[in-house]
Structure 1
């Protein structure tokens, strides 16, 4: 199996959506009494944070790739 790059933005998005699903499950089974307007902003904020992490990761990798190609051109 080929190895792939670690993508922290996707990991964060998955964890946020998993947490939202667990909260909805707890609410449905009676384990917690959460208003709907609490979980939706949490999921939206988590996805926005995951997008930011993904953009930062991309920028860092692009800068690193550019530095490597500059040093090899010399």
Structure 2
């Protein structure tokens, strides 16, 4: 089954995976990371994901010149 690509969700998922990798590395004694590192990683990732989502949605938006009946038709 095909589905729409949602790049905002992809970016949000990657930001959360990055946060998990940072904390797993800290737990495995590979490196030291302060406890507050999660806030900028998750917060910044969600902001970037929101921006990417808005840009992707505006790029997929249909032109306003199409009649309203054609916009709501299921494909």
TM range (shorter): 0.7 to 0.9
1:4-15 matched pairs, under 5 angstroms: 4-15=3-14
TM-score with structure 2 setting the length: 0.78
- Aligned equivalents of 1:4 and 1:67: distance in 2? 24
TM-score with structure 1 setting the length: 0.79
SS at structure 2 position matched to 1:69? coil
Show structure 2 runs of 5+ residues with no match: 71-75
- Aligned equivalents of 1:5 and 1:67: distance in 2? 21
Moved over 4 A (4+): none
Q: How many correspondences in the alignment?
A: 68
Instruction: From the two aligned structures, give the one with the greater helix fraction.
Output: 1
- Aligned equivalents of 1:4 and 1:68: distance in 2? 26
Show structure 1 runs of 5+ residues with no match: none
